[in-house]
Structure 1
Amino acid sequence: MNFSAFHEYLNGPAPVLFFRLDGQGRVLSMNNYACQICGDLTAGTPFQDILIDFQEVFDFQKIAHSRAKEILLSLQTVSGHPKSYLFVFKRLGNLVLAFGRPDIQELEMLRTEMVALNQELGNLTRDLHKKNAELQHALDHVKTLQGVIPICMHCHKIRNEKQVWDKLEEYLIEKADVDLSHSICPECMEKLYPEDGDDEC
């Protein structure tokens, strides 16, 4: 891979972090992906300033002179959520090149969490549709009486919207979706059947 292709790869869509550091571990430049993740750092920013939990123990000189092996580092990100990357540091003259790739385990954990969230969202959506259907079913069966109802002051028949006088019971059964059972109140019992009241005494 020539330098032009390498530069294009580093600034392409691949999730590869690239930092060009000086001999003291200060950031000289970075690729587009690193800018998206860490923000546009000021030239000269110490690399360890973007690390989480490693500021005190990060020994840049030791890492820069060691054999190339991956080191798991957590970075501060512009989103405010830390992300873990596996880094390799390669010395090139007076410069140190730092390459970071996403931590596969963290990506797998995020993928698992995403699948679980999608399943939960699907369950909630199904529950919501079910509750909406139940609510619609209930609304379809609700009948209410509203407004002024014309009623005869003598026989208590009610005039319906067709201008027909219905018995109170028929009107309630049709409009209020109720069942009525007939009985007799004590006052009417005494008034209409006084002899039954005398028998009880």
Structure 2
Amino acid sequence: MPQVDEVAAAWERIVGWLRRNAPASAEALRPGASDEEIARLNEELGFDIPDVLEVWLRMNNGSTAKDTEKPIPGGTAHLPHRDSVIFPGGMRFLGCKEIAGQHAEYLHIARDIGDDDYWKSPWIPVMEQSDAPYGIILDARNPSGPPPLLRFSEGDYPTSFLPSLGDFLRPLSDLLETGQAPGSVVAHERFTIAEGRLHWTD
């Protein structure tokens, strides 16, 4: 199955499961990104996002529908809602706006510390913890095949995680539907449902 189709099919299964079993979490999913939002993201990144990310964002533009912002001196503070956390490890799905903002922030840090290996322009943050710089990157440096996933954490350089986005979403859909995803990166993850919300347990 082509990678784009695999991502779309796995995400459709995940969203369907959330709507049936964790509606409060499903309500945190934004509608699909528009042509204008995709174009703006490409412009802000400085390159076109990979097809697998575009199809994912066109299905749902992140899990941040319930997030809010609070004015602070010099700008605004983003306040993630607990329902935005739909992935193991306390991670939320970043939409176009969050992707562009985080990408710019990490490149800014790399310039400030004078370390080009801290963050590279083709690294696209797609999942991130709501309260700390830990998450998953889509590495767009390889145009000839599916972009691999990297894992990043505060104070460490990003490291290899999985060969593709489908290799994360497919077993996650299996885990949600059946409670099992043997041999996968999420094989040992556990979750509960409370008040219509998905909770990942440690």
| Common fold: TM-score over 0.5 | no
The structure whose residues are more often helix, as a share, is 1
TM-score, normalization: structure 1?
0.23
TM-score, normalization: structure 2?
0.23
Work out which structure has the larger RCO, using CA pairs closer than 8 Å and 6 or more positions apart in sequence: 2
Structure ID, larger Rg: 1
The structure whose residues are more often strand, as a share, is 2
